[in-house]
Amino acid sequence: MCGIVGIVGVKPVAERLVDALKRLEYRGYDSAGVATIHDNKLDRRRAEGKLFNLETKLAGEPLPGLIGIAHTRWATHGVPNETNAHPHFVDGVAVVHNGIIENFAEIKEELGAEGAIFVTQTDTEVVAQLLAKYRRQGLGRREGMHEMLRHVTGAYALAVIFEDDPSTIMAARSGPPLAVGYGDGEMFLGSDAIALSPFTNRIAYLQDGDWAVLGRDGAQIFDLAGNRVERPIQISSATAYMIDKGNHRHFMEKEIYEQPEVISHALSHYVDFAEQKVRPVDAGIDFANLRGLAISACGTAYLAGLVGKYWFERYARLPVEIDVASEFRYREMPLSRDQAALFISQSGETADTLASLRYCKDNGLKIGAVVNVKESTIAREADAVFPILAGPEIGVASTKAFTCQLAVLASLAVSAGRARGTLSEADEKQLVHSLIEMPRIMSKVINAVQPQIESLSRDLSKFKDVLYLGRGTSYPLALEGALKLKEISYIHAEGYAAGELKHGPIALIDENMPVIVIAPFDRFFEKTVSNMQEVAARGGRIIFITDEKGAAASKLETMATIVLPEVAEIISPMIYSIPIQLLAYHTAVFMGTDVDQPRNLAKSVTVE
């Protein structure tokens, strides 16, 4: 989750840019850099590792200039070294970038055929190369920026400066956030308001598809079509020591919107974007020679593990035993040393999960930890640590940690499949390609379904009971949807495997029972539709979450149909998490509950 900062100032900016980057260190990074324009010449300093290394360089080689951009990089394409560190320069163009340019390989091949010489391994360099190409062709800076944005695909935040215009920063957003700060004769750009808090509290947030031109006197903001738009200037309460909600009402909403960005961050640790392969996993667990895998966790993390069970068994043909940690630790499960155990916890301190880990360790199993806090107890006691890299999650009801857990488990399942010979190289490439597409698709889904779900949630908030149904990996999502709704809205909700409906829960169905059905058009679809028909025949109110093919194939009348794009089966659980999170969130908002800190719940459960 890289960090971006920019300043168009009236006094030297390099030191201020680095100070702003320090406030983004919580996002994680492995290199850093800063670029300025001075005497009509671009110059930069970059360094691998922490910001201290960059500061040391700047102390020995100061970087003058009243305009500049800076960046902390988390490596996706290319190793973390100084060459791949941002900003990237091409023929008088400097670029910093957060996110993934999905079609970079095609653009790179096209530009290479035209004679472009690439000096980094990054996807970002194609942005600088495209802008330089359009300038050589005679396009102005704004026209070149607009043309570049029409050619790149992916989830990205960009900041650009041109050597021949030492008074302007250009920026663009499609997914990862960007905030524009308004000062007195100065303008600022940052990944969030925290980075800009020492400079100004007057902040405007770019929306997806926006691109902006910042000068010392203000900002002009355009949509992707090139039309001028206005974004409201807000007074931010962010400080250098506080994670801010930005333009969101609650941390939970902010964290839902952060998911495309943090999943990019997580995937980059496990996937080689350029080669479309999984990276070698932590050597603490040898998936190739396992007879079985035990998974244990609590709450939402357990449901992530349940999805993971489907993936490990399907893609790696690896038998999986899974149980909630509070049961696992006491049921004295027979274990053997040719098994491994995987424990999932956002905090890494969950008491029952830790006790289960120690039981497995005492039985001689190799231990894997899927955690968000790498310094946690669970991580320290594991043989292999698989960080989810979601960043701080403030809302008690987990959202981005859940989908990052899923992204990591999907990557591990593909890695295990390759190690065990159950996936071919072609299978791996296809699955990884789908994972790479996921952040862009998630970003589009969030913006597309938000208005419909907000309206629907007003009606849902009037009911006292809700059922969720799903098959395959949509079954754990049904459980997660029900858990989210009752966690924060206090509406009673239950999730069921769709095939179990007729084995009891169907007795509850009447006109006062909304039934939320999660059913992409996959190999389970027809069976799930037959269960929907059973609900419809008894007057149940169906909320149908499906894709374009599913919506066309189902002829049933629904309370609402939420249509998502058609996606590969491996990324379906992450994509379909978005509407169930938003349904719970907006329903709770309408009911006036404390969304971020629901009653009786804690973020980290360190007691039994």
Question: For residue 318, what pLDDT band results from cuts at 50, 70 and 90?
Answer: very high
d(CA 73, CA 30): 6
d(CA 438, CA 570): 10
Pick the catalytic residue from 22, 361, 374, 603.
603
360 is annotated as an active-site residue: no
| Shared fold status for 248-423 and 435-598 | yes
> What CATH class has 248-423?
alpha beta
- Do 87 and 71 contact (CB within 8 A), yes or no? yes
Is the torsion defined by CA of 391, 580, 572, 350 positive or negative?
positive
- Do 349 and 378 contact (CB within 8 A), yes or no? yes
Model confidence, pTM? 0.78
| 559 Cβ contact list (under 8 Å, min separation 6) | 456, 459, 514, 541, 542, 543
Pick the catalytic residue from 2, 298, 360, 404.
2
Identify the CATH number of the domain defined by range 3-247. 3.60.20.10
pLDDT of 396 > 90? The answer is no
- Do 454 and 586 contact (CB within 8 A), yes or no? yes
Comparing CA positions, the residue from 395, 382, 415 lying closest to residue 288 is 415
Give the CB-side neighbour count of residue 172, counting CA atoms within 13 A: 28
d(CA 178, CA 156): 10
Domain ranges, ordered by start, for the chain: 3-247, 248-423, 435-598
Provide the mean pLDDT of the chain.
91
pLDDT tens-digit series, residues 399-451 = 999 999 999 999 999 999 999 999 999 999 999 999 999 999 999 999 999 99
Point out which residues pair with 101 in neighbouring strands: 154
Q: What does the pLDDT read at residue 419? A: 95
2 is annotated as an active-site residue: yes
Identify the CATH number of the domain defined by range 435-598. 3.40.50.10490
* DSSP-assigned letter for residue 438: H
d(CA 150, CA 485): 39
| 227 Cβ contact list (under 8 Å, min separation 6) | none
Q: What does the pLDDT read at residue 607? A: 39
Question: For residue 603, what pLDDT band results from cuts at 50, 70 and 90?
Answer: low
Cis status, amide bond into 387, omega within 30 of 0: no
- Do 3 and 71 contact (CB within 8 A), yes or no? yes
pLDDT tens-digit series, residues 213-229 = 999 999 999 999 999 99
Residue 459 — left, alpha, or beta (φ > 0 → left; ψ -120 to 50 → alpha)? alpha
Query: Which helix (H) or strand (E) is 256 found in, with range?
Result: helix 251-257
pLDDT tens-digit series, residues 143-160 = 999 999 999 998 899 999
CA distances for 402 relative to 229, 440, 578, 588, angstroms: 35, 18, 11, 19
Sheet holding 465-470, edge to edge: 492-497, 465-470, 514-518, 541-547, 560-564
Q: What does the pLDDT read at residue 240? A: 45
